[in-house]
Structure 1
Amino acid sequence: MKQKSIFEIVLMVVFFFFIAYAVLGFAGIAPLPGGGKDEENIYLGSVVIWGTAPSVAISDAIDAAGFEKKVKVSYVQKNTATFDRDLTEALANGVGPDIVLLSEDLILRYQNRIQPIPYATLPIDRFKALFIQEAELYLGNDGIAALPLTVDPMVMYWNRDLFSSAGIINPPTSWSQFIDEVVPKITMVDYGAKIKRSAIAFGEFDNVTHAKDIISLLILQAGNPIILVGADGALEVVLEERFGYDVVPAQEALKYYTQFSDPSQDVYSWNRSLPLSESAFLSSDLAVYFGYASEYKEMKRKNPHLNFDVADMPQREVGAKQKITFGKMRGLSVLKATKNPNAAFAAVMLMSGPDFISTVSRLMGVPPARKDLLSKKPEQENALFYQLALQSRAWLDPLPETTSAIFRGMTEDILSKRANFADTIETAARKLENALRIKR
């Protein structure tokens, strides 16, 4: 391949920043400089996006956006289970996409394949002013890994009939209320230790929908970020750290979670013989279900007669100063392998504008990741989802499948009494460190 001259490289860089700034202005991310209209009229070509989000939502939003005069964007929905393999093979054969719709748990996995957006184009303070706090997971040493579109916050679905029958007026706002009131009044266990009805599906892993995310949330609420990003960008597993607390936060979180599947505990409410927690909730055998905002309409469809409502995620204590829920976030990343970087960056920036994100948010049934859009709360249950979007947090997951196995192992070690809480957390920390090394 003929090597580009220094002049050609400099010219490309200057042209990129020229186009990028103009497009940022069009997307409402940066102000347009004087004379910006000419830059807006430049057609940059076409790009392809791969992602696992529903095609009907992304493609319809692209069609409605009206920026085809600047860049033509095509979206291809891929299977979640085969996405990584499909992308690796496509890139190896030189036929990969230009952009990927990246979830928060894939940031580390794909960081070497991503071309970050330079901070000279979009400064950190401007990024933080525009997007929710969880979006800061996309901030790296070399730039911004992705521009966020949506966030799907975890919420608490609760069965109104089961609560009212038990004489409980309001859903719990703190985890301690499950122990003090909800479990004693709702969970039913017969003399053979068979669970007839459950207040909460905690403790086990395989039959608890979103178990890994729930455990992650409890650890984050306890004050532990799981993996810490240092000032130099270095990643450190901190699962064993105390962070000034008397008890290791991760131990406290794991102890709370597993007690509900321990037959020797008064709060025993769940075991591995029971169905998947989502199914149990839909059949009114489970009082609360921790799921995502995106599940609301589907749950209504699956059981239109179920009398349920949506509430905030419980916190460590009533009136917690900092409320936290877990959020599944999606953002757009440009791949280094793109054959048209100017068009790819332009597409990402245009799709990060308020109009496009608002359309995608509505079509997907999840809140937007832009704070200016979250300030315009919709009616009914979506207003709560918007509030929880601002409270959403997550962590930098090195290898999602591997870490799922690690979290499963933590619950199994405790419930089988193979190890105590300190040893279990120590073992999990070593495994997370190994996963981080493999990722690197």
Structure 2
Amino acid sequence: MNKSRSLIIGAVAIGISLFILILIGILPGLNSNEPKNNPISISVWGIENDKNFFSQSADILKTEYPNFSIQYRNFPDEETYIYALNEAFSIGNAPDIIMVSNADVPKMKTKIAQIPEQYITQLQLQQAFPETVWRYDFADKNGVYALPFTIDTLVLYYNRDILGNAGIVYPPETWESLEEMVPKLTKKNATGTIEQSAIALGGTEQTVAHASDILASLMLRTGTKMVDDTFSRALFNGREGEGALTFYTKFSDPKSKIYTWNQSMPYSIDAFASEQVAMMIGYERDAQIIKEKNQNLNFGVAPIPQPKSATKAMTYPFYSGYAITKQSKQKPIAAAYLVRATLDKTIAQKYIEKLGGTPALLSLINENISSAEKSVFARQALVARGYPQIDSKEIKTIFSEMIELVISGTKNPSDALGEAQTEVNKLFARIKV
């Protein structure tokens, strides 16, 4: 009898204990506050994106978190975005995930968190994305900082009609062949004013879209070391950098055989759209702007020219990825979402379909290699190479001013390069990373 009573009492005690554990959520059960079923939301900020894409892509975590959602905030331009972002960080209320450009990752390391290796390893990153993503842009030896959906690189835009009328069958593959084409494509009136330019090169950011990026691309192509290995100072003031600057500015030097551009020319994208220039160098995103300006323009896209002596191709990237902020209170969930979304082929493809661009995922790049529309962009993504910048916006201004010093005759390329390097090093002294 005592034994039976003890068993009954024990069973009741166990039952009560289990009920309490279920009630407080330690064990799964009827409790609606079970963490897995709680509403979980992360915030994502970006520029000119599609709100519906992010809300729909939240489905990738719905198996583990049925009530997971994404609150996306879109900004119309970079200036508005950066202002809001700085305000949010200053009051400790930054979003969980933010858009960040590849060039600005070093500057942002004080504000963005590494993605833990349990979500993505360096090996997985290398197997999923082109070399520029993991070697130069979004990762270093310490870890992974951001992940992209798309990648954009400098390409050559050319007017088929202008080249055809000049008897030129193919766009230039090398810088040397481009130099040979310049006299055939440049038209001047009786006073020497350029009425048709061969290519929009040699000018500042005022007249040449992406002038500083084009110059940086030439510098990297010549082997210029842009910054030191510790990312503490600029190093581009050398023989290679001077050679690149000299070559670039020759296109706007009236005494040069390849003179074809000057600061009185229209902005390069406008000039190309209005058929005042035969060729321009730009990003994939420029194609839509050109089409909007002139729907009937007969133009093509080719890889950016390479030196004749080059054994391998190289181009310059400028694109954005997404990073988790250090202020995020949902880092594990944010990391799980970000890694799955960017590495999932189906979701990455939906991003492309909604927002355009060339995919950053290698598996999707492979599918676009033979595409008539995407082949050039896909192939260039594989040979892109950027470099870390202490402040990409400031460096753009410094490089543009460097170009102005040379083409105005104020300084020779060597002195202009030295002055620009000094200005960049002032940024290193002012901005702590």
- Range of TM-score over shorter length: 0.7 to 0.9
Residue 55 of structure 1 is aligned with which of 49, 52, 70? 49
Which residue pairs with 1:197 in the alignment? 196
CA distance in 1 between counterparts of 2:54 and 2:354 reads 8
| CA drift at 1:391 | 1.6
- In the alignment, structure 1 residue 185 sits paired with structure 2 residue 180: no
| Counterpart secondary structure, 1:168 | coil
- In the alignment, structure 1 residue 390 sits paired with structure 2 residue 382: yes
- In the alignment, structure 1 residue 436 sits paired with structure 2 residue 431: no
Residue 317 of structure 2 is aligned with which of 303, 323, 327? 327
- In the alignment, structure 1 residue 240 sits paired with structure 2 residue 237: yes
CA distance in 1 between counterparts of 2:285 and 2:231 reads 34
Which residue pairs with 1:366 in the alignment? 357
| CA drift at 1:294 | 2.3
Which residue pairs with 2:126 in the alignment? 128
- In the alignment, structure 1 residue 66 sits paired with structure 2 residue 66: no
| Identity between Structure 1 and Structure 2 (%) | 28
Q: Which digits, 9 at most, give the CA deviation of each residue in 1:328-377, with x for residues without a partner?
A: 22211100111222221122112222222222123222111121221112
- In the alignment, structure 1 residue 424 sits paired with structure 2 residue 404: no
* Structure 1: 5+ residue stretches without partners: 1-40, 242-247
- In the alignment, structure 1 residue 45 sits paired with structure 2 residue 40: yes
Kindly indicate whether the alpha-carbon contact (under 8 Å) linking 1:117 and 1:143 is maintained by their aligned counterparts in 2.
yes
Q: Which digits, 9 at most, give the CA deviation of each residue in 1:387-419, with x for residues without a partner?
A: 111122222121122212210121111112222
Letter in 2 for 1:50: W
| CA shift in 2, pair 1:64/1:86, >3 Å | closer
CA distance in 2 between counterparts of 1:61 and 1:222 reads 41
Which residue pairs with 1:151 in the alignment? 151
Residue 406 of structure 1 is aligned with which of 398, 401, 409? 398
TM-score, with length taken from structure 2: 0.84
Kindly indicate whether the alpha-carbon contact (under 8 Å) linking 1:118 and 1:142 is maintained by their aligned counterparts in 2.
no
Kindly indicate whether the alpha-carbon contact (under 8 Å) linking 1:414 and 1:424 is maintained by their aligned counterparts in 2.
yes
| CA drift at 1:201 | 1.2
Q: Which digits, 9 at most, give the CA deviation of each residue in 1:115-155, with x for residues without a partner?
A: 11134653323322221111122223542111222101221
Q: Which digits, 9 at most, give the CA deviation of each residue in 1:39-58, with x for residues without a partner?
A: xx777821111111x232x6
Which residue pairs with 1:261 in the alignment? 252
| Counterpart secondary structure, 1:227 | coil
| CA drift at 1:314 | 0.5
Which residue pairs with 1:355 in the alignment? 346
Name the stretch that deviates more: 262-271 or 61-70. Answer: 61-70
| CA shift in 2, pair 1:65/1:88, >3 Å | closer
Q: Which digits, 9 at most, give the CA deviation of each residue in 1:197-252, with x for residues without a partner?
A: 10011111111111111111111111124124x2xx544422024xxxxxx12111
Q: Which digits, 9 at most, give the CA deviation of each residue in 1:29-73, with x for residues without a partner?
A: xxxxxxxxxxxx777821111111x232x6325415622523312
Residue 373 of structure 2 is aligned with which of 358, 375, 381? 381
CA distance in 1 between counterparts of 2:108 and 2:87 reads 14
TM-score, with length taken from structure 1: 0.83
Which residue pairs with 2:291 in the alignment? 300
CA distance in 1 between counterparts of 2:38 and 2:269 reads 48
CA distance in 2 between counterparts of 1:66 and 1:327 reads 31
Which residue pairs with 1:105 in the alignment? 103
| CA shift in 2, pair 1:383/1:424, >3 Å | same
| CA drift at 1:261 | 0.9
| Counterpart secondary structure, 2:328 | coil
| CA drift at 1:435 | 1.3
CA distance in 2 between counterparts of 1:42 and 1:185 reads 69
Letter in 1 for 2:341: M
Residue 78 of structure 2 is aligned with which of 77, 80, 95? 80
Which residue pairs with 1:91 in the alignment? 89
| CA shift in 2, pair 1:439/1:282, >3 Å | same
- In the alignment, structure 1 residue 226 sits paired with structure 2 residue 226: yes
| CA shift in 2, pair 1:261/1:432, >3 Å | same
| Counterpart secondary structure, 1:299 | helix
Kindly indicate whether the alpha-carbon contact (under 8 Å) linking 1:108 and 1:439 is maintained by their aligned counterparts in 2.
no
Calculate the aligned-residue CA RMSD, in Å: 2.0
| Counterpart secondary structure, 1:424 | helix
Name the stretch that deviates more: 113-122 or 144-153. Answer: 113-122
CA distance in 1 between counterparts of 2:46 and 2:277 reads 33
| CA shift in 2, pair 1:168/1:282, >3 Å | same
- In the alignment, structure 1 residue 340 sits paired with structure 2 residue 330: yes
- In the alignment, structure 1 residue 213 sits paired with structure 2 residue 213: yes
Number of paired residues?
Answer: 387
Letter in 2 for 1:399: D
Kindly indicate whether the alpha-carbon contact (under 8 Å) linking 2:57 and 2:341 is maintained by their aligned counterparts in 1.
no
Letter in 1 for 2:236: L
| CA shift in 2, pair 1:183/1:339, >3 Å | same
| Counterpart secondary structure, 1:310 | strand
CA distance in 2 between counterparts of 1:207 and 1:124 reads 41
